[in-house]
Structure formats: C-alpha cells, structure tokens
Amino acid sequence: MKRKFLIPAALLSCLLFVMAVVADLTGKWKGTIKTPDGNELQITYNFKANADKLTGTVDTPGGSVTVDDGKINGDIFSFKVTVDGNDYPVKGKMYSDSCGMDIDFGGSTVHTTVVRDTTK
C-alpha cells in the first residue's frame, strides 16, 4: 500500500523540481563576453522558458538578435544566435543565481558567466 503512494509522490516531486528549474531560467541575465580577439562585449539575455524549449533575445551594444533552437534539459540548456550570417552555438548550465555558458566562436570556445538582472 505504501509503495502505491511513494512512487507517484517521488515522480511528482521530480516533476515539480524540473518545473522550478525551468521557471528560474526565464528572465533577464547580464554579463560580459570576452571574444577570442580580446574585445569585451556587454550582453543581456532575455530568456523565456516553456517546458523544454528556450526562446528569447540577446541584446548587445550593436543590436538585438533572437535565441534560436533553444533546448532545456534540467539545469542544462543550449541555443544558438546568428549574427551577420554566422551561427554561434551556446551550451550552458544554470545555477541558483547565475548561468555558466560556453560560446563557440567558429572553433574557439569562450566561457562566460551571466547573472540574473534584478533591477526593475
């Protein structure tokens, strides 16, 4: 009898945890990317998580681009952005107050960290 209740309760707990992680990625995240040529680029990611899909925009001093092909799997996510016809794949991991991301600049991988923007 206990087993009938424990398994559904455990599954429900896992589902709620995954939903909480997905909900936490939604919002504005800010940081700096140091490009392979040494330039620093101020960025703002505006993420919208919906189940296992990730959409949004990336704002830079040069303009805004969309987040394409976004996927979420627990606390791991990936997407790409296209700038001037070049695709830049991104793989990341979400933590409680930050995201670590690896950006592929055509064979050179750059790691950056963004933090949640809490300003209104």
In the chain, domain spans: 2-116
| CB neighbours of residue 94 within 10 Å | 23
Buried b (16+ CB within 10 A) or exposed e, 26-43: eeebebebeeeeeeeeeb
pTM above 0.85, yes or no: no
Convert the pLDDT of each residue in 33-58 to its tens digit: 998 888 899 999 999 999 899 999 99
- What secondary structure does DSSP assign to 28-46, as a single string? EEEEEEE-TTS-EEEEEEE
> At residue 67, does pLDDT exceed 50?
yes
Pick among 3.40.50.800, 2.40.128.20, 3.30.750.24, 3.90.660.20: CATH of 2-116: 2.40.128.20
The residue whose two tokens read 């930050």 is: 98
